[in-house]
Structure 1
Amino acid sequence: MEFTALFLAVTVVMLVAWRGSRSLTLALSAVVLIACVATYLHHATDTLKLSF
Structure 2
Amino acid sequence: MIKPPQNETQELIDQYLRYTSLLLKIKVLLMDVARVKDEINRIEGGGQCQN
- Structure 2-normalised TM-score? 0.57
Q: Which structure has more RCO (C-alpha within 8 Å, separation ≥ 6)?
A: 1
What is the RMSD computed on CA atoms of the aligned residues?
A: 2.0
Q: Which runs of 5+ in 1 are unaligned?
A: 1-17
Give CA-to-partner distance per residue, 1:2-44, whole Å, 9 cap, x none.
Answer: xxxxxxxxxxxxxxxx721100001111011000000000011
Runs of 4+ in 1 over 4 A off after TM superposition: none
Aligned identity (percent) is 11
Q: Which has the larger radius of gyration?
A: 2
Q: Which runs of 5+ in 2 are unaligned?
A: 39-48
Q: What residue is the counterpart of 1:34 in the other structure?
A: 18
Q: What residue is the counterpart of 2:7 in the other structure?
A: 23
Q: What is the count of residue pairs matched by the alignment?
A: 35
- Structure 1-normalised TM-score? 0.56
